Amino acid sequence: MARTDDDQRQGQDPAPPTQPTQPAQPTRGSSGRGRIAAAIGVLGELLITAGLILALFVAYSLWWTNVLADREAKKQGDQVRKHWADRGPGRLDTRDGIGFLHVPAMGDGEVLVKKGTSAKILNNGVAGYYTEPVKSAMPWDKKGNFSLAAHRDGHGAKFHGIDKIHDGDPVVFETRDTWYVYKVYETLPETSKFNVDVLNAVPKESGRKKAGRYITLSTCTPVFTSQYRYVVWGELVRTEKVDADRTPPEELR
């Protein structure tokens, strides 16, 4: 007779009782490694965030400030030229800007020149002439040093290409009624930012010993720093009257 399923089960040894499964308890070492891994993860996220913030700051400093400064410089430059047109012949007062600097070696653009070299002035994408610690002469003065400064990076970076200027290159300053044409005769790639002698009426460090009609361009160096100053000197070689069409001198054509 065939055995039933119950008979078969009754002939087998009973299964041992099962014990409830207990979760594995982490050891002290594995818990410490977990905390370290979590800390490293948080630190990595913080570093990534800091890197993004730094990248945005660099983009703002080296690009967006240029955009804003160029807009403001164009606005102010247009106001000066309109002022010239409205008032007719005669020298412009120094309130709005005394004229425009043209340096072909640095590019085709013009740079509005205003009074003062503070960040408030230069951050608008213009150059400024010194009022202190050494007072600048004006281009129309019979003797002296027309000394200018502008940013090299950010805020318009109008003197960014100063290292492209070489001896013999022209530097032209445009006022309402006169073109002042200078010729570069000396450069100083690096000097202390406290060296104010480069602005003297007779800039002896440039090799000149007698009074004359000089121009000095100065800015920060190396690029992206303000540790030292880069200086370029020029000497007036001639002037030209501005005609009705404001035809530039041959050095700018």
Catalytic site positions: 220
* Secondary structure letter of residue 123 according to DSSP: T
Cβ(101)–Cβ(156) below 8 Å: no
Q: Looking up tokens 């002022």, which residue turns up?
A: 83
Query: Considering only CA atoms, which of 230, 70, 231 is closest in space to residue 145?
Result: 231
Cβ(102)–Cβ(172) below 8 Å: yes
Nearby residues of 59 by Cβ (< 8 Å), 6 or more positions away: none
DSSP string, 42-55: HHHHHHHHHHHHHH
Rounded distance, CA 111 to CA 166, Å? 19
